[in-house]
Amino acid sequence: MNYVGIDIGSTASKVVVEGDKKEHFVLPTGWSSKETCEKIKNKLLEMGVDVTSDDTKVVATGYGRIAVDFADHVITEITCHARGGRELAGEDCSIIDVGGQDTKVIIVQNGMVSDFQMNDKCSAGTGKFLEIMANRLGVTINELFDMAAAGEVIPISSLCTVFAESEVINYIGEGKKREDIAAGVVDSVANKVVQLAQKKELGDRVILTGGLSHSIYFTGILSDKLDQKVESEEFGRFAGAYGAALLAREKKDKRR
């Protein structure tokens, strides 16, 4: 049997295969989740995983989960991220997930979601904000972090992405160093994430998932601001898809 977890995010779509095969990959979501699902289906078939087979079970999650018409189950992001995050941590934990269009804080106790908080009303504390600002500075997100690490924070006070971008444009016009602007951008996102996280009582173990989870620099900033260690996770980008694959297996096991 193969168990496939598909996390269709607003920016990137992550896929994890557990079972006879062990695979994972990421594709840009693009403008159409439906088209992305077809690409995922074909890529899996090239890997020897047929999503239409009785020997494959699929769970879909994420922003575009309804578009996965070949999924056996559709499960919410909170449940899948909690399952994947707990597996990555190896125990109960608090999960901070910074996604493309939202940020989530999930508290896992006794293996279950005990509480969560989401910010999906504004992009100012998300990966989309970083993407917009990186584009404005003419760099990739990874380059933005590298620049930020070499800079001094200058304040970006606007709570709105549009107004914050105007601040960045003004700083550029004033001749401020790109490194300092980058440091201000990353610090601004970290502040928004921390404000969300502080609304909940975090446990002793805190991990970062999502597209920024590999960044030691970003987790370091979060740790300083929360006065609590936030751990980076190399596989953290795949937490939702990983959780979905594990849930696909667990749902299969329950039917036996």
Instruction: Indicate the residue type of 49.
Output: V
Q: How confident is the model at residue 6 (pLDDT cuts 50, 70, 90)?
A: very high
CA 201 to chain centre: 21
Does residue 255 surpass a pLDDT of 60? no
Beta-bridge partners for 210? 98
Q: How confident is the model at residue 131 (pLDDT cuts 50, 70, 90)?
A: confident
The CA distance from 237 to 70, in Å, is: 23
Average pLDDT taken over every residue of the chain: 91
Nearest to 100 by CA among 131, 127, 133: 127
The CA distance from 185 to 208, in Å, is: 19
Does residue 126 surpass a pLDDT of 80? no
Does residue 158 surpass a pLDDT of 90? no
Average pLDDT of the segment spanning 111-123:
81
Q: Counting Cβ atoms within 10 Å, is residue 42 exposed (0-12), middle (13-18) or buried (19+)?
A: exposed
Does residue 52 surpass a pLDDT of 60? yes
Strands 12-19 and 2-8, bridge-based pairing: antiparallel
Instruction: Indicate the residue type of 241.
Output: A
Q: Answer yes or no: are the C-beta atoms of 164 and 124 closer than 8 Å.
A: yes
Average pLDDT of the segment spanning 95-109:
91
Residue spans of alpha helices (H) in 102-238: 127-137, 141-149, 161-173, 178-197, 216-226
The CA distance from 51 to 61, in Å, is: 16
Nearest to 60 by CA among 42, 44, 37: 37
The CA distance from 151 to 135, in Å, is: 18
Q: How confident is the model at residue 248 (pLDDT cuts 50, 70, 90)?
A: very high
Average pLDDT of the segment spanning 180-207:
92
Does residue 120 surpass a pLDDT of 80? no
Q: Residue 199: CB partners within 8 Å, gap ≥ 6?
A: 105, 117
Q: How confident is the model at residue 124 (pLDDT cuts 50, 70, 90)?
A: low
